[in-house]
A and B are shown apart, each in its own frame.
Chain A
Amino acid sequence: MKNRLLQKPLKKCAVFSALSLFAVVGGAYAHNNKVHSPWATMPGNAGVNAHASAEVKVTGVVTDETNLPLPGVSVKIKGTTIGVTTDVNGKYFLNADDNATLVFSFVGYTSKEITLSGGRTNYNVQLLPNSKDLNEVVVVGYGTQKKANLTGAVATISGTELQNRPVPNALAALQGVSPGVTVTRSSGQPGSEGYGIRIRGFSSANTASALILVDGIEQDLGLINPDDIESISVLKDAAASAIYGARAASGVVLVTTKQGKAGATKVSVSGYYGLNITARQPERLNSWDEQTLIDEARFNATGAKEFTDEQKQWLQNPNFDYRPNIAGQDRWDYYTNTNWIKEGMNKVNSMKSFNATVSGGTETQNYLFTAGYYQRDGVLRYGPDDNSRYNIRFNFNNRISKYVDMNTIIGYIGTVTNSNSYGTSGIINALYRIRTRQALYTPAEDVTGQPYNGDLQVNPIDIEKNAGFQQQQYDTFTGRFDLGIHDIVKGLRLNLVATRNQDYYANETDKRSLYWYGRSTNTVRFNANVPNSLSLTKNKGHHDNLQALLNYDITVKKDHNFHFLLGSSFEQYRQDEVTAGAVNMITNDFFSLNYGDQATKTNSDDVQTWALGSYFGRMTYNYKEKYLFEANARYDGSSRLAPGLRWQMFPSFSAGWRINEESFLKNKLSWLDNLKLRVSWGQLGNSSPLGLYDYLAIQNSGLLSTSPNLVFNNLKTQYLYQSKLPSSNLTWETIQTENVGLDVGVLGNRLSFSGDYYIKYNKNMLAQLQLPDIIGIGTSFANVGELKSWGWELELKWQDKFRNGGYNIGFNLANNQNKVTKYDGKSTIGTGGVVNILEGYPLNTVWGYKTSGYFQTKEEADAYKAGTKYAFSSITSAPGDVKYLDLNGDGIVNAGEGTPQKPGDLVNLGSTNAQYTYGINFGVNYKGFDISGFFQGVFKRAFLINNDTLDPLVQTANLPWTIHMDRWTPDNPNAFWPRMYQTGTQNYQPSDKWTQDGSYIRLKNAQIGYTIPFNKKYVKSMRVYLSGQDLWESTKVLSVFDPEVPNDVTAGTYPFYRTVSFGLNVTL
């Protein structure tokens, strides 16, 4: 094909660049070695050359703030390069002049100087950690900055805040930790939890996931081991994230992994074992109560019940469970009572995680190696339902010469998710939909040879055990090589960075055929997975990134500090996928393409590619670190856009004023440590809704497994079709962000406050236009909307120490609101429900009718309905039916013209967007004990439950649950649920009655730990802890659903769980 040929030179180009880069790296290294040994001049190794004259032997132990020995501390004689480092036990030996000054320094700790005197030779020194806030260095886009000098909105989260939580991954641990950072999940299924992260609410109506870079490599944070993380920076505003241009609109999350430190080899291991306890799930009725509701529903709808009173008696009779069908059918009739949920789901499941870290090295060469394992079982009682993950990471920093250093990171992540080939949600749905009067097993007299009964519905237990499995394996290898060349000109640094993320995905689905017979094998009552089938998907992807970064620091006239960054990057992605399938295996127990039916084998391939070219720069300037200014710009070009529309510039500007540095405050208010005002403006791009080739009219093949089939001439036949119109002039969404922020630190920075207010304008939001259906085809995205979103966030922290301990308490609160200001003039609310994009309203608004309880008498219903029709149904209303209000008094409860201007009787009942999200955390440690707790919640949210799930018997198989027993009957006039009614939706229209109040507060995590005092010689530290996740919540959401569920939750949703875990951290 022509296209494939065209691609080749392009691929070569990228490969060539990568090779060149490595050639540079290698060359520099080799060259250095030839000249002279690179180590000789390195200060850290000076101990080897230490020489002395008229000197004393000085010795001592360096300890940290907890009085533990601190190895690897650099001890230097001031004004020389002579020095040593402390050993494993924190000890040092040094020859020095008897009046020399020693400088003790260690990363993360405040340096200390001691002048020798009086011939004393023993100096024990305690180093204290850097004052956290102001001197802290924060990771920002393509570099680091002193926190004090930041002008953008950047939240930093230390790795320790995420540790020891029994959560599946790093993303899960982030929830509620920082204001404005919302973590969502859609399911409790192992490996398919559906975690998402949203920073500062919505910037767009489209999926706008934050750009997540782990050591500069775009990766799924959901796969990262929380234990590997040193720190996380969340870039929230344009000032901070404009350097990432077209992909930064939803915020950027920069994850930095732990690095090796100079010092003796340090080994630490940790692990936990946890129990997941299913929380808030629907419960089934016993068979006679279930039958009561079924009969009520049938009687109300048709005038006839399904069962006679005698049959209902049989259900309650424990000695009468089945009989041969006396209507002469080849079946058994069942009158038993099976607790399907208990039979099919475990209430308690286990999870475990183990990690080991080894690190060590010198100032010039150090390393850190970690390995982690995580595993979690799911709720299904039988068969495959679990997820496991392996993380390995090796970080190696090597200072090759005075001018050259080379940092290498190599990582591997492997995950395996096992599930049932029938589909986990299909099984859970079946457990909720099968009649409780159906027995689990066939009667003893049954001659079909099948143990499991599938008379009325498919048997979910048989499916769990025997329907085959699906295994998804994902392996990703990442490498990052960063060659730094610096100080050839003073203050100038060049970094050449190459990264690759190469991944492999494999999916195997083996569908075993199952049959359920009547009383003889002549009658197949039901079957599943017929014919049996195998499908395989394999893909290989690689994501390359080449960067060149030039940094230049210069100070002019002492007080004018400049920093310049100039960079370019080229990224490309390619994924090759092949899928193959076969049906009708020779045996039901062996699955290989080799044994499939030749005539019906399927295969297909899919290649996905994109490329992104970028140039970017940053200038920061400050005067006496008092007045701060920063400008960023990025110029991006993407393959996803039509030629001619590919390149766009994204600028930002920001400024800061450190008021506390002003002479009128400095040293005058001793309690004021920090007072900073920040403002920023910038434009960011969002490209996540862009497809790969949206500007082309693609012809799809009818032979793909996803396409419906066509038969001609007794053969599966090809057809070609276009599924959507091309969008030839679409471009990035441009989101303009304005931010103003205030940082305050007082009382020795024990109390700190940070607040931000922001406004974001999405000036050309991509959306699929709401068009009349006469268009007859799907449409691509087009830049047709405008969205304004705004909000504020604040964080308040207090931390203090007391004798033998300390404590901290923190509170954060964020509010985000948005409004669609333009949507090509067209909006529809249809007949109610959740409307995603509606001009003049926030995204995802809920629309429904107002209700006023139930009709209590026939007279009441008749009188009301005589003057008020329901447009959604002509079913005659009866006692126990919902009374909908005719708000506009036109005699009919309807949706008017379906527009917000003429909504009939529909009203806006809120939005599914969480508003006012908050987190509260506290911690105390005393001697060896520590206790911490973390609450998290949402003050305002509305959502709907899927109507098929809410409305019992809307389809015959949608059975009622225990909650539905509280239904309207003449004896229960104040019921929660309306009268039962088969296949009628009239009582379950979107309305205030059914809109869920999604506000909640929940104890997200609580921990209690104890650090066991050991002889430091053998064990440096050992902590045991008990940790609980999602232990408690308070909410008004319908009791059988978790408050964190997404809108339109269904019965098949995998339940969420509470976790209690026991863990151990040991450092040797």
Chain B
Amino acid sequence: MKKYISIVSIFAIALVYSGCKIERLPETQFSDAQFWNNETDLQNAANRLYEQMAGYTIDTRSDEYVGTTPSDISNSTRGVVATSGDWNLPYQQIFTANNILEKGVKAKVSDDVKNRYFGEARFFRAYYHFMLVQKYGDVPLVLKTLAINDPDLNMPRTDREAVIKSVYDDLDFATTWLPARAALPATQYGRVTKSSASALKARVALYEGTWLKSRGKAGWEDHLQKAVAAATFVMGQGHSLYKNYPGMFLHEGEGAANSENIFVKIYGVNAANIVLAHNTSRDLENGRIAPTRNLLRIFNYSDGLPAFNTDGTELTTKSPLFVPESSEPSYNTIMDNRDPRLATVVWRAGEVNWKGPWVPITSLGVRTGLAGKKGWNAEDWAINNNATVDKALIRYAEVLLIFAEAKYELSGAISDADLDASINLLRTRAVMPVKLSNGFVAAHNLNMREEIRRERTVELCLEGFRYDDLIRWKTAETVLPKSLLGAKYTVAEWTGTNASSLNLNPNNIIVVEDATKRNTFDANRDYLYPIPLNEISLSGGVVKQNPGWN
């Protein structure tokens, strides 16, 4: 018996000792080795760019609207942070783009196909580098993926000029290889086109040109010429403005049929099938997008004349339709006889909105007492967090405004023909009775630059442009320290609100944030964001902090 047991024992040991292979490969995921082969692969990789891209964001950094709590950028009380999404999210998206550009090379597809997706990648790489420059000035220019031991991880910040040059290169490549708007199949609506790339270039060039010019720095002309050229290119791509102004921000304005859409974040599909949604309609109700009087003041009166400048200062000669704030008889007075767009931006008292007729109130966070209306969709509002209206990140109206501003800033003048080809198209669409012309400006002793800026501020209000405009115009130091004001309080219209619960100025106007709490804007510091502290410490001090932030 011993013998048998011995034999089977040895046999068994041999089996176990022979060892089984320990190799295991993933079975429900694949790796780079099996990817990057064909057009579908390139498209799936490029789709990540669209997924990462932000759509609706709440931007209370300027003075045009407030959220439920003060913004520490708007009131200049922010501090230096260790890490920031403003910094790291763009770099995550830049990685995605660089990864496609490096690995997509091996795909076995024609150069046309490859370059189209490379064009998308370079479009987004430019988009995010520009976003970083707007906030931080000089930033590390990252044009390749970085391994964990790549010495370039500790690169210093690249001069803003060099970053912008790279942005132009990327956008020129994208304009060359991306499909024209008209050639984009309907099923691909939402992907970037030649128009998207060129419009973005116009935006970058205007920003950079005016940023330099307002600071008395050289080289602005070249940027503004690029802005005009790029805008002119887009104006030749068959775009037109949507038939009505408010509809641009509602479901009716969605899709390829509305050629005002140039670069869009798509939400959807609809209330019954929520795939990707935002909360804008509820944000408007709940005071997370509450327009200020500071914004309302900038709108023209229906005679085409203003009372306040875009930097918040008061004009000495005001429109005859202007009613002094101390004598506004009603909550609605400030909305009377104005540019028609104003009526599409805020609700009037008594107008039926989410809760029946609007009764002014400040509780629930609507700190200004003014309720935002622009982009409010009843069907989106019905269910919390489930709004699906698309967000146009670049629309044709902006291109027209870039064209007008760049033209004007280049030579200090703009022809009536150019005004008719740009700003007056917007006014016509908005049903504004008065057109802007050199004659009108002269006749009323207006300033053409200010009127062009006003048109931009009004047309693009609540869309996230105001803060960047104040920075490039260098007017933030004038605008941001001012008090943020809200609605006019009247006993009759403010049913249910006790005036003693409101912070009112002598004119019975709500003081949302008093100038005394906002007067810390430092022109030597606050035009640029502080670099996140970790970037400085982890680069061993190679990355330097912006001035004033220590």
Chain A residues in the interface with B (C-beta under 8 A): 1-4, 6-7, 10, 13-14, 17, 20-21, 24, 27-28, 31-32, 35, 301-308, 310-311, 325-331, 401, 403-404, 485, 488, 494, 496, 518, 523-524, 526-527, 530-531, 546-548, 550, 568-570, 572, 584, 597, 599-600, 605-607, 609-613, 615, 637-639, 643, 646, 692-693, 696-702, 707-722, 725, 769-777, 779, 782, 826-831, 870-876, 892, 894-895, 897-899, 955-956, 982-983
Q: Pick the contact of A711: B146, B267, B354, B501 (CB < 8 A).
A: B267
Residue B425 CB within 8 A of the other chain: no
Residues of chain B contacted by A570 (CB below 8 angstroms): 16, 19-20
Contact B12 A773 (CB under 8 A): no
Cβ-neighbour of B23 out of A639, A770, A826 (below 8 A): A639
Closest to A402 in B: B1
B12, B48, B77: residue with the most chain A Cβ atoms closer than 10 Å: B12
Given contacts A496-B13, A526-B384, A828-B537, 10 further A-B contacts (CB under 8 A): A1-B30, A10-B21, A326-B495, A548-B12, A570-B16, A597-B272, A710-B51, A712-B190, A777-B92, A956-B365
Are B534 and A27 neighbours in the complex by a CB distance under 8 Å? no
Point out the residues of chain A lying under 8 angstroms from B541, CB to CB.
Answer: 897
With a cutoff of 8 Å between Cβ atoms, the chain A residues found around residue B82 in the complex are: 828, 830-831, 895, 898
Task: Say whether B11 faces chain A, with CB atoms less than 8 Å apart.
Answer: yes
Residues in chain B near residue A774, CB distance under 8 A: 91, 140, 142, 146, 153, 155, 535
Contact B503 A303 (CB under 8 A): yes
Which residues in window 59-78 of B have CB below 8 A to A? Answer: 68-70, 72, 76-78
Chain B residues with Cβ under 8 A from A325's Cβ? Answer: 496
B534 touches A702 (CB 8 A): no
Determine if A692 and B24 form an interchain contact, defined as CB atoms under 8 angstroms apart: yes
Closest to A333 in B: B496
Q: With the chains together, A719 CA to B52 CA distance in Å?
A: 10
Total CB contacts across the A-B interface at under 8 A: 358
Question: Which A residues lie within 8 Å of B190 (CB)?
Answer: 711-713
Say yes or no: A304-B536 contact (C-beta < 8 A), given A17-B20, A774-B146.
no
Q: Is B534 touching A830 in the complex (CB atoms < 8 A)?
A: yes
Complex alpha-carbon distance, A769 and B150, angstroms: 13
B381 to chain A, nearest CB (A): 9
Report Cα–Cα, A719/B30, bound state, in Å.
13
**B540: chain A residues within 8 A (beta carbon):** 826
A894 contacts which of B80, B96, B99 (Cβ < 8 Å)?
Answer: B80
Residue among B514, B532, B537 making CB contact with A303, cutoff 8 Å:
B514
Q: Output the least CB separation between B163 and chain A (Å).
A: 13
CB-CB contacts below 8 Å: B475-499 with A: 494-498
The minimal Cβ–Cβ distance linking B492 to chain A, given in whole angstroms, is 12
Q: How long is the Cα–Cα vector from A401 to B190 in the complex, in angstroms? A: 78
- The reply to whether A776 and B513 form a contact with Cβ atoms under 8 Å apart is no
Q: Which residue, of B28, B44, B92, has the highest number of chain A Cβ atoms within 10 A?
A: B28
Docked CA distance A265–B146 (Å)? 70
* Residue among B5, B98, B520 facing the most chain A CB atoms (10 A cut-off): B5
| A10 & B153 in contact (Cβ 8 Å cutoff) | no
Which interface class (under 10, 10 to 19, 20 to 34, 35 or more) fits B?
35 or more
Chain A residues within 8 Å of B520, by CB: 874
Q: Tell me if A874 and B79 are in contact (CB < 8 A).
A: yes
- The stretch that binds A, out of B221-229, B309-317, B338-346, B356-364, is B356-364
Q: How far is the CA of A693 from the CA of B26 in the complex (A)?
A: 7
Q: Is B95 an interface residue (CB 8 A)?
A: yes
- B94 contacts the other chain (CB 8 A): yes
B87 proximity list for chain A (CB < 8 A): 773
- Partner of B502 from the list A304, A518, A568 (CB cut-off 8 Å) is A304
19 A–B contacts from the bound complex (CB under 8 Å):
A3-B26, A303-B503, A527-B383, A702-B48, A709-B275, A711-B268, A712-B189, A713-B190, A717-B47, A773-B88, A773-B91, A773-B534, A776-B98, A782-B148, A829-B537, A830-B537, A872-B80, A895-B533, A956-B69
Structural contact, B80 and A572, CB atoms closer than 8 A = no
**Contacting pair B50 A710 (CB below 8 A):** yes
Min CB distance A344 to B, Å, is: 22
- Contact (Cβ within 8 A) A530 B386: yes
Are B355 and A547 touching (Cβ within 8 A)? Answer: no
* A721 and B48 form a contact (CB under 8 A): yes
- With most chain B CB atoms within 10 A of its CB, the pick from A31, A328, A776, A983 is A776
Q: Which residue of B lies closest to A329 (CB)?
A: B355
Judge whether B537 and A609 touch: CB under 8 Å: no
Give CA–CA (A773, B34) in the complex, Å. 28
Residue B411 CB within 8 A of the other chain: no
A306-B501, A983-B69 given as contacts; is B496 within 8 A of A328 (CB)?
yes
Is there an interface contact between A830 and B275, defined as CB atoms closer than 8 Å? no
Q: Are A831 and B81 in contact (CB under 8 A)?
A: yes
List residues 1-45 of chain B with CB under 8 A from any CB of chain A. 1-2, 4-6, 8-9, 11-13, 15-17, 19-35, 41, 44-45
Q: Please give the distance in Å from B48's CB to the nearest CB on chain A.
A: 4
* Cβ-defined partner of A714 (8 Å) among B269, B502, B537: B269
CB <8 Å contact, B498 and A310:
yes
- Asked whether B323 is an interface residue with its Cβ less than 8 Å from the other chain, the reply is no
Which residues of chain B are near A982, meaning CB under 8 Å?
Answer: 69
Q: Is B182 an interface residue when CB atoms closer than 8 A count as contact?
A: no
State the 6 A-B residue pairs at the shortest beta-carbon distance, nearest first. Answer: A776-B95, A830-B82, A327-B496, A719-B47, A874-B77, A898-B537
- Closest residue of chain B to A711 (Cβ to Cβ) is B268
The one of A530, A720, A770 in contact with B384, judged by C-beta atoms closer than 8 angstroms, is: A530
Q: Give the residues in chain A near B77, CB-CB below 8 Å.
A: 873-875
Interface assignment of B511: CB less than 8 Å from any CB of chain A: yes
Q: Select one of B28, B91, B514, B532 contacting A776, CB under 8 A.
A: B91
Residues on B lying within 8 angstroms of A by beta carbon are: 1-2, 4-6, 8-9, 11-13, 15-17, 19-35, 41, 44-45, 47-48, 50-51, 68-70, 72, 76-83, 87-88, 91-96, 98-99, 140, 142, 145-148, 153-155, 186-191, 266-269, 272-276, 354-357, 359, 361, 363, 365, 367, 382-384, 386, 494-498, 500-503, 511-514, 517, 520, 532-541, 543, 550
Residues of A within 8 A of B31 (CB): 693, 696-699
Q: Which of A485, A526, A697, A719 is in CB contact (< 8 Å) with B48?
A: A719
Residues of B within 8 A of A524 (CB): 382-384
Nearest-Cβ distance from residue A139 to partner chain B, whole angstroms: 22
Q: Are A699 and B32 in contact (CB under 8 A)?
A: yes
Bound-state CA distance A250–B72 (Å) is 46
> When the two chains form their complex, are residues B16 and A613 in contact, meaning their CB atoms are under 8 A apart?
no
Q: A6-B25, A871-B80 are in contact. Are A303 and B533 (CB under 8 A)?
A: no
Q: What residue of chain B has the Cβ atom nearest to residue A727's Cβ?
A: B148
Min CB–CB distance B187 → chain A (angstroms):
5
Partner of B148, one of A646, A721, A771, A829: A771
Question: Which single residue of chain B is at the shortest CB-CB distance from A830?
Answer: B82
B188 pairs with A712, CB closer than 8 A: yes
Which A-chain residue is minimally distant from B513 (CB atoms)?
Answer: A302
CB-CB under 8 A from B28, the residues of chain A are 605-607
B533 touches A828 (CB 8 A): yes
Once bound together, how far apart are the Cα atoms of A827 and B533, in whole Å?
12
Instruction: Report B126 CB to chain A, min CB distance, Å.
Output: 15
Q: How far is the CA of A279 from the CA of B324 in the complex (A)?
A: 62
Taking a contact as CB atoms under 8 Å apart, the answer to whether B51 and A20 are in contact is no
Which residue of chain B has its CB nearest to the CB of A693? B26
Measured between beta carbons, the chain B residues less than 8 angstroms from A530 are 383-384, 386
Q: Is the CB of A523 within 8 A of B355?
A: yes
> Which of chain A's residues have a CB closer than 8 A to the CB of B365?
956
Q: Which interface residue of B13, B23, B355, B537 has the most chain A CB atoms within 10 A?
A: B537
Q: Which of A311, A699, A897 contacts B30 (CB 8 A)?
A: A699
Q: Contacts A328-B359, A776-B95 given; indicate if A550 touches B13 (C-beta within 8 A).
A: yes
CB of B344, distance to nearest CB on chain A (Å): 23
A708 and B51 contact, Cβ closer than 8 Å, known pairs A776-B92, A875-B77:
yes
CA distance A769 to B26 in the complex (A): 25
The chain A residue sitting closest to B498, CB to CB, is A308
Residue among B20, B47, B142, B540 with most chain A CB within 10 A: B20
State the CA gap A524–B382 with chains docked (Å).
7
A547 touches B16 (CB 8 A): yes
